[in-house]
Amino acid sequence: GAGVSQSPRYKVAKRGQDVALRCDPISGHVSLFWYQQALGQGPEFLTYFQNEAQLDKSGLPSDRFFAERPEGSVSTLKIQRTQQEDSAVYLCASSSRSATSAVGPSSYEQYFGPGTRLTVT
């Protein structure tokens, strides 16, 4: 597709349920980021992939959060035993260059998807 897509756009989960959020990056983009955006706040970094390797997961708030990108394209963010504080918009972004590339700044531009709004009741 032409841009980053995410599904579902909206998800309502009962507290304690597991959820899986999907991100389809722009074709060929090496890098993929997940961000969490709470209501009225700016996005906060969760985790980063370069191809299938998860290079940084320092932003994941707890061990209930797990992300994978097994084939280096589509990524899934999984939240186990959801809590009310997990309610947020989850944004995915992809960019075309790897961490080791030396091309100019626009190569690292992150293109965002429309996000998944998760509501935990």
Partner 1 sequence: AQTVTQSQPEMSVQEAETVTLSCTYDTSESDYYLFWYKQPPSRQMILVIRQEAYKQQNATENRFSVNFQKAAKSFSLKISDSQLGDAAMYFCAYRRNSGNTPLVFGKGTRLSVIA
Binding to partner 1 by CB under 8 A, coded x per residue (else -) over 71-110, reads: ------------------x-x-x-x-xxxxx---xx-xxx
Find the part of the chain contacting partner 1 (CB under 8 A) among 14-22, 62-70, 73-81, 111-119. 111-119
User: What does each C-alpha distance from 39 to 1, 36, 64 come to in angstroms?
Assistant: 29, 10, 21
Q: Provide the terminal-to-terminal Cα distance of the chain, rounded to the nearest Å.
A: 33
Give the β-pairing of 10-13 and 116-120.
parallel
Judged by CB under 8 A, how many residues of this single chain contact partner 1? 32
Q: How many angstroms separate the CA atoms of 34 and 113, rounded?
A: 10
Question: Tokens 């961490």 — which residue?
Answer: 99
> Which of the ranges 14-22, 45-53, 66-74, 77-85 carries the binding residues for partner 1, by CB under 8 A?
45-53
The residues that touch partner 1, with contacts defined as CB under 8 A, are 31, 33, 35, 40-45, 48, 50, 56, 59, 89, 91, 93, 95, 97-101, 105-106, 108-110, 112-115, 117
